[in-house]
Structure 1
Amino acid sequence: MSITTTSPPEAELEARIADTLQRVFPGTTSLRIQQRFKVRVGHTEMEAGSQSYVEGRADILVYQGDEALAVIELKREGLPLTADDEAQGASYALLTRAPIVVITNGSDTNIYQTHDMKLLKEASIDAGELAHRIATAAAAAQSSITGAISKLLGTDLSAAAIAAMNATELHELTGSWTSSQRFVENFLVPRKATEAARIAIRAADTRVVIISGPPLCGKSSVLRELEETADANGWAVLFIEASSCAEGLFRRLANVLAALFSWPATQDDARMWLRRVASRPDYRFVLCIDSLPSGGAVLSAELDEMISGGMGAHLQLVVAVDENDFDHLTLKPNRREPTRLGRNSTRIEVGNYDDNEFASARDCLYQLGGGLVDGGQYAPELRAPWVLRAAVASQMESLPEGSAAVLPPLLGTEMFSVADERFACLGAVRNEIRTLARIYVDELMAKRHHGDRLSSLYVFSVTRENARKNIDRDGCHDLVRAGLVQASTAYSGDSLYVIRVPALFGHEVGVRLATLLQRKVQKNPDEAAKWLVKSCARMPLGDAIGAYAINRSLQQLGPGDYLLLINGLLKLPPVRRPIAPGSKMVAMIPSVGLIDFEVDVNGTTTMRSRDILSPPFTVDLDEEDLVAVANIDGWLILSQLRPFNLAFCNQDGDLLNVAAWLLLEIGSCPVVLRRPGKELEQFHTHAIDHGEMSCLKNGIAEPVTWSITELLVQDIPGVDREAWVREAAATGSLPLINRLGQALSHISNVAGRSEWAEQMLEQVYRPALQGHPQFH
């Protein structure tokens, strides 16, 4: 068996170098060589040369002392000396200020003076001539150096040039946890959309991959992930931020090339550079364009030019766009024909973290010193990438070295304050959002199609008819252009504006409810509680929004009306109701659509999907399964309330905190107090007498359990934590004891409270659980 290699053995290569030096510089001492060396190109230092033959040659830099003496282009034996070899050698020599260029294939050797590439007749250079050459090396004209930069940035140094450009571009977009920049250094969550993009890029017929989604969902991070993993795929990936391309992509590239490499490139130079890089056969070139706007004639024309193949066969584009811009980019104004971008593109949608991505996000946080309390995987608000970052920002920013930040498993009402701060820069568009919130609250009680009513539990929306009655055309256009709303159609056929930033909208809805709540409580607290529950039961994030509205109205209500409102909510506990035979119901699973349920006299339940062509599915249910939980929203609101700052004195003068007695009542509820997620989830429960409770292994997944945890961790006026634990255990309520165990299990890992929590688990919780042997 024979093996053919394109690279000579290291010893053979070293022998050829030594032989060349001896022939070209006879009698010259103190020579040293570098097969990989630094080249300073403008303001950027890059590594050049190679340790083995690349395309039939090795680049070697020869030094005498600290002075660069010569660049040697060492060709493989038998390969001819070409003009391309001369150009490459001259380019390296100009940038390293080496006065001599040597090109040799072993049998033929050419020696040139760098500044004009004049072929020297001598076959060798003695020490005196060498000193003269070094002294006159500065004679190289600036124009020659500019040409050298142009040559090398498009060939051997192209990968290093792309890396330098990416570092500069991404650095401008990277900031601290609390900054408004898109990225945080070292925090990058792997996304499924990135792998889908890689698959699309590898497909031979894919010219453009479009990453689309709502604002702040992580589109930019997908492009950043492609760039950071480019080497593993053998690709060259160039990241460009499109909002910097007002005068066109090639103008932006020319500016970057000038700033980094002192190459006064024109737009045509940048176009030629991109074409040269994209035409290289040794790797796939991927141009990532972030935040591509839908307008801009110059950029649109340049995209057409690149898509048409004028930039080389190996160029592929990945562009990130807001979902509202997708149709504008891919459809012509007549809305019937696709643009060239539309004809040659594959769309990949990105949204909130799924289970695997969220697990990766938790791992990334852990590596940086942060972590979520067990149970956070069930908090839907934390699945939004920007919400998770904003929620952890303050703790991660001020994290002392060597310590860890433990973040809550759910945000609750805090998410609305986070959103209010994050979107403070929206300016006048915030006024339009407030108007939409007012319209939304007015529409809550309107009679609607059952499909519209069910879908409204998952997404905020308002009818376009009412929106346009209250917001002028320009205002509606601004909302769409900012990506805050998206046009859609309801089950009933009504035209809608769907809100794409629910946490921000939840803040505005909460503010609106707080304004209305004050007057209603003063008129009739119990009716006000019923109105609030009915409103919040019909909206996404309703329990948190209801609690947010109450908290915001506390100062206006005063302690008396506040307590009357809480009592009104306490009078509306969850109830379990049997489902009668013959009942017909309709439900919604977002990924499936509307599902009809029908229960016959034997308890057999038949399910039919309206949106998917599939046969009916029948299941036999026993009497315990034929139960529905109703009226849960009032106590869900109380679970989110956390009134730790409100206390009063009893007749004995003792200070009593409202939260302490409220959580004893709410914590005893024999119903799991959390809103289910959009999809079926791995959330386990245990059946108990007249109800169910969350499995201990779920972690802290109920807002009421986190409120109990905070009650026992914090130093709250009017709360004796040990007395509260003993009182909770003494109730004998299994749901309360279970929630107490979940809270204490977490606190046993909290610095400063762990010993106490372990003591309470051993002395109070476990003995209380023994009273319920089926769960002991």
Structure 2
Amino acid sequence: MRSFISMLPIVGNITHWPLGRKRLTMTITKLTEAPTEADLNARLDAAIKHALPWLGSESVRRETKFKVQIGRASVPIKNDSGSHEARADVLLYFGDTPLAVFELKRQDLNLSLNDEKQGLSYAKLLSPSPPLVVITNGADVRILETHTGSPWVPETPSEQALRDLLDNASKVAKGELKEAIHTLMHDSPAVWMAAVREISKSNIEALSGSWEDSLCPFVRGWILPRNATDVIEKQALAGQRVSLLVGAPLSGKSNVLREVCLRTMVSPTMGALYLCAGVGSGIFQTLADALNQALSWPVTPSEARNWLIQISNQNQQKLLVLLDDIDPGDSTSRRELEELLSDTFGQGLFVAIAVHESGSEQLCRSKNMLSQSLIGMKAKVITLTSLSDEEFKSAQDSLAKRHMLFTTGAQYSAEMREPWVIRAVSAHVQARASHLSKEAFASLPPMLSLRLIAEARTRFESPELIRYYQAIASALLADAQDRDRRAPLLLESLHTYVVRRLTLGDYLPSEEINRLVSLGFVRPAIQSDEPVLYVRLPELVASELSKKISKEIAKLLRNGIPEAAELLINAAQHLPLGDIVAAQSVMDCMADTGTFPYDLIVTLLDLKPTERPVQPGTKFGLDFPGVGYVMVDYLEGGKVKFKANGEIITADVSEVDFGAVIENAHPWTILSHLVNRLAATRTDGDGVIVMAPYLIKEIGDSELLLRRPGQTLDSRRAPMHDLQGGAVVCHHAGFLEQITYSTYEYLAYEGRGADALINEVIDLDSPFLLSRVHIALQEITTLSEDHLSQWAVETLETKVGPALAKHIDGVCE
């Protein structure tokens, strides 16, 4: 039996990793592998003897492979014996001191000025710098001084003359160093590809942190594989000039660009350059800063532009420029981006831009908004939505390598298809999972719960940060009450924390909003023609929302229970993570007032969910990932009309296939989160009521699926069995509903102490309740605690299993 250890995820402190500036250092590393090829040795022996006949062979040794360190970029210098140039680059030593960069060309090739420039560049970038560069094809010989580039003409060629030259060798001037880097960055693909990879590595490292560092977009040493990465690579290889990677905030756009960098790290034909372009200084300035910082190559934006032009017109290698966090409203970045797509730049340049949906629309439209921009005409859009089934399986495999496994049913959870949620629930688990034995695994929850808010309150304790998020919560609540917002913005606000900038301005001054932007807590964008801000740290937003709502509930409970229940239901309906926010509000209210709102709980329980068929004339508005706002209109005669982006599509289906909608589900989904949090008992006419088993029996008996649907078709799927009077979740599917997971938590805590509840469930003989209890017990059988797993096995085999079989025999094998 596989061992599982249940753990609760928490998240830690925020860490900032600033980019550091380092001075240029050049080192030589020996890479020679013995024995070298005999023919190369023979040619080199003959060429060295011919070029330096007065130098004793016992005084000279050579390295046929070496590398130079340009800033942080390590560039190997290898012999190009397979190329049309057939050049061998060798480093000669006089004793233990570097003497010369020795370039041996094919015998039938003439020596050129480019040969001299490359040899001098290598020599200047080595430390210590060899004083000579020797270029020969075996017949012609040129010996140049590294420092001046002039021919070396000693009065008497001898070993003593070499010793004098070594003693008097000057340090390379800064301007000459820049020229040396310039030469190799323009003329040597091996150099510029290694350099751009180093820049990407440095930029990514600056944005990387631990699992707990939520403001760092990257987890150091872990990545979530996405299908969009394949699409970007294929488009680049196919000759596409620009691709737009479009997705909602926290959908993982930055991680896709990072994955492109990692997958092309050793490619012989592609080098990926990752740049954060959202600082408002323009693309070429951002590139110039990166080249200066990573390579100590001080170039201007104009020089950086010219470098891109030359690289893009090379035939064999391709540069992938990956622009993250670009501001579509920045006129400089937009103008330079359109220039990158012009004929000035060649086919060796590919640009991928990560941008939000509204930003994509802005980039693809001309300034007058009446026609397509150059970007819109040339770009291919790659839409990044929630994880598909294939991507979720990749996430499972990746986490399993770190001894973490999702609890059964997570694949059907809408929340678990979001990258930020996977990271949040894995944050604390991974620290302990890394110390488990090979056979043991830490379990990840199948869905989000109140633990998310508890962990946020543990992690985020800065009074200043809390003050900012209190203001954001107030603005979100104000926006939620405004039903005049345009439909796309209103629908997006149901699953994403997005606030209108104008509304937040009522709670924070402009300079503090700008500070939130600069610190990365909010990201500005345009949605429905309005300036909006997308808020990071959703768990902290949910925490502050619940605090504010709890205070309103406390006021309403003094006057009327129905009004308090209505407030909770509205919060659950109109806020992201609404059921969790509403449930936490009840807990906060209890903590603040010191009272148990029994009447509120009963009122919510009395609001039983119902189902009604969709009738002709019904209209729905949907925020569909990858499409945007979709209006669905059900017509007479079994027709359904879909309207999106100005296009109308009509489908013919029967009215029977219109389906049904579940209404009033939120009261029970709120209570599902509270099952194990309401420890109180209540005495009424029927005796003492213990809340947890009472709620499990009442809510667990529902014939309807009690969960919030996801944004993707994959997460909307639910394996169900139709029975008389309703439908049950397949007992092999795992946890799809919070009430079932809360039942699992209760039974796992009580163990044999829950036998009385099990017996009541058997007596009630409800297939819906039995199915939920069966799923909970199945999970307990996998736990490492033997006394629990053994009890669960016995209970399934002797009680719950046979009782459920009477209802589902012939329905589910």
TM-score by length of 2: 0.78
Contact 1:116/1:140 (<8 A) preserved: no
Query: How much has 1:456 moved relative to structure 2?
Result: 8.5
Distance 2:576 2:395 in 1: 24
Matches within 5 A, 1:657-672: 658-672=691-705
Change in Cα spacing, 1:58 to 1:511, as seen in structure 2 (3 Å) is same
Whole-angstrom CA distance in 2 between matches of 1:695 and 1:51: 63
Q: CA deviation at 1:692?
A: 1.1
Distance 2:465 2:369 in 1: 30
CA deviation profile, 1:318-366 (whole Å, cap 9, x unmatched): 2333444445555565444666555554444434333333332333222
Deviates more, 1:503-512 or 1:370-379: 503-512
Q: Which amino acid aligns with 1:646?
A: A
1:408 counterpart = 2:440: no
Q: Distance in 1 between matches of 2:202 and 2:505?
A: 47
Residue 128 (structure 1) shift:
4.4
CA RMSD of aligned residues (A): 4.5
The answer to whether the aligner puts 1:712 opposite 2:744 as a matched pair is no
Segment drifting more, 751-760 vs 501-510: 501-510
Number of the residue aligned with 2:250: 216
1:35 aligns with 2:64: yes
Distance 2:621 2:523 in 1: 26
Deviation, 1:176, is 0.8
Q: Does 1:380 align with 2:414?
A: yes
Q: Does 1:92 align with 2:127?
A: no
Partner of 2:717: 682
**Shift of the alpha carbon at 1:663?**
1.5
Does the 8 Å contact 2:245/2:253 carry over to 1? Answer: yes
**For 1:382 and 1:722, how far apart are their aligned partners in 2?**
32
- What amino acid is aligned across from residue 96 of structure 2 in structure 1? D
Per the alignment, do residues 682 and 535 of structure 1 end up closer, same or farther by CA in structure 2, a change over 3 Å counting? Answer: closer
Alignment counterpart, residue 674 of structure 2, candidates 638, 641, 647: 641
Residue 103 of structure 1 deviates from its aligned partner by: 1.7
- Work out whether 1:515 is the aligned partner of 2:551: yes
Aligned CA distance change for structure 1 residues 520 and 232 (closer, same or farther; 3 Å): same
Q: Which moved more, 1:98-107 or 1:758-767?
A: 758-767
Q: Which amino acid aligns with 1:548?
A: Q
CA gap of 1:20–1:676, structure 2 versus 1, over 3 A, is same
Query: Deviation string for 1:491-533 (max 9, x for gaps)?
Result: xxxx998988787776565445433333333434356446644
2:46 maps to 1:19: yes
Structure 1 segment 674-753 matched on structure 2, within 5 A: 674-680=707-713, 681-714=716-749, 720-752=753-785, 753=788
Task: Give distance in 1, aligned partners of 2:428 and 2:222.
Answer: 15
**Counterparts in 2 of 1:165-180, with a 5 A limit?**
165-179=199-213, 180=215
Aligned match of 2:430: 396
- Seen in structure 2, the aligned counterparts of structure 1 residues 337 and 422 have a Cα distance that, compared at 3 Å, is farther
Q: Which amino acid aligns with 1:40?
A: Q
> Are the aligned partners of 2:474 and 2:545 in contact in 1 as well (CA < 8 Å)?
no
Distance 1:765 1:132, change over 3 A: farther
From the superposition, tell whether residues 232 and 426 of structure 1 become closer, same or farther in structure 2 (CA, over 3 Å). Answer: farther
- Output the amino acid matched with 2:429: Q
Residues of 2 paired with 1:629 and 1:140: CA distance? 77
8 Å Cα contact 2:472-2:504 kept in structure 1: no
Matches within 5 A, 1:2-13: 10-13=37-40
Which amino acid in 2 is paired with 1:516? Answer: E
The letter for the 1-side match of 2:197 is A
Q: Is the 8 A contact 1:729 1:764 kept in 2?
A: yes
CA shift at 1:177, angstroms? Answer: 1.0
Residue in structure 1 matching 2:192, options 133, 140, 158:
158
Question: Which of 61, 67, 76 is the equivalent residue of 1:47?
Answer: 76
Structure 1 residues 55 and 278, CA gap change in structure 2 (3 angstroms)? farther
TM-score (norm 1): 0.81
Partner deviation per Cα, 1:591-647 (whole Å, 9 max, x = no partner): 594445579xxxxx824224375555244859xx98765543322221122343523
Correspondent of 1:438 among 477, 483, 488: 477
Listed one character per residue, the Cα deviations across residues 121-163 of structure 1 (whole Å, up to 9, x for unaligned) are 6999754444444444446555434432332233322122122
Q: Which runs of 5+ in 1 are unaligned?
A: 1-8, 490-494, 600-604
Aligned counterpart, 1:79: 109
Q: How far did residue 702 of structure 1 move?
A: 0.9
Contact 2:632–2:642 under 8 Å retained in 1: yes
C-alpha distance 763-301 of structure 1, shift in aligned 2 (>3 A)? same
Q: Is the 8 A contact 1:214 1:500 kept in 2?
A: no
For 1:114 and 1:223, locate their aligned partners in 2 and report how far apart those are by CA, in whole Å: 40
TM-superposed CA distance for 1:283, in Å, is 0.6
1:116 deviates by 3.0
Aligned length: 744
Q: CA deviation at 1:706?
A: 0.9
Query: Per-residue displacement from partner, 1:465-495 (whole Å, max 9, x unpaired)?
Result: 9969978997999799954775339xxxxx9
User: What amino acid does structure 1 have at the position aligned with 2:414?
Assistant: P
Cα displacement (A) at 1:441: 5.3
The one-character-per-residue Cα deviations of 1:236-264 (angstroms, maximum 9, x if unpaired) are 22112224x55554444444444444444
In the alignment, the residues of structure 2 paired with residue 44 and residue 630 of structure 1 have an alpha-carbon distance, to the nearest angstrom, of: 60
Counterpart selection for 2:589 from 553, 566, 590: 553
Distance 1:456 1:106, change over 3 A: closer
Shift of 1:302: 4.4
Aligned residue for 2:225, secondary structure, equals coil
Tell me what 1:111 maps to: 143
Alignment match, 1:198: 233
Deviations 1:727-764 (A, max 9, x none): 54454332222222222222233332544444443444
Give the alignment of 1:90-489 within 5 angstroms: 90-96=120-126, 97-120=129-152, 127-138=159-170, 141=173, 143-156=175-188, 157-179=191-213, 180-202=215-237, 204=239, 206-230=240-264, 231-232=266-267, 234-243=269-278, 247-294=281-328, 299=333, 302-303=336-337, 305-310=339-344, 314-326=348-360, 329=363, 331=365, 333-336=367-370, 341=375, 344-402=378-436, 404-415=441-452, 430=469, 433-440=472-479, 442-443=481-482, 482-483=522-523, 486-488=526-528
Greater relative CO (CA pairs within 8 A, separation 6+): 2
Which of 121-130 and 633-642 deviates more? 121-130
For 1:6, the equivalent position in structure 2 comes to none
Question: Alpha carbons of 1:302 and 1:524: their partners in 2 closer, same or farther (altered >3 Å)?
Answer: closer
Aligned-pair CA distance for 1:406: 1.8
Q: Distance in 1 between matches of 2:661 and 2:288?
A: 65
- Counterpart CA distance in 1 for 2:564 and 2:51 is 97
SS class of match (1:692): strand
SS at match of 1:154: helix
Q: Shift in Å at residue 687 of structure 1?
A: 1.8
Larger mean CA deviation between 316-325 and 662-671 belongs to 316-325
User: Would you say the 8 A contact 2:735–2:741 is kept in 1?
Assistant: yes
Q: Which secondary structure does the structure 1 equivalent of 2:125 belong to?
A: helix
Q: Deviations over 1:421-442 (max 9, x none)?
A: 7898878875664344433554
SS in 2 for 1:110: strand
SS in 2 for 1:102: strand
Quick one: structure 1 residues 627 and 68, their matched pair in 2 at CA, closer, same or farther if it must change by over 3 Å? closer
Query: In structure 1, what is the Cα distance between the partners aligned to 2:431 and 2:115?
Result: 52
Task: Report which stretch shifted further, 321-330 or 393-402.
Answer: 321-330
The unaligned stretches of length 5 or more in structure 2 are: 1-35
Paired residues of 1:35 and 1:50 also in contact (CA < 8 A): yes
State the shift of 1:33 in Å.
3.3
- 1:266 and 1:499 map into 2 onto residues whose CA distance is 34
User: Taking structure 1 as reference, are residues 64 and 187 closer, same or farther at Cα in structure 2, changes over 3 Å only?
Assistant: same
CA 1:690–1:629: 2 relative to 1, 3 Å: farther
Q: Which shifted more, 102-111 or 762-771?
A: 762-771
Q: Which amino acid aligns with 1:682?
A: R
Alignment partners' CA distance in 2, 1:251 and 1:487: 28
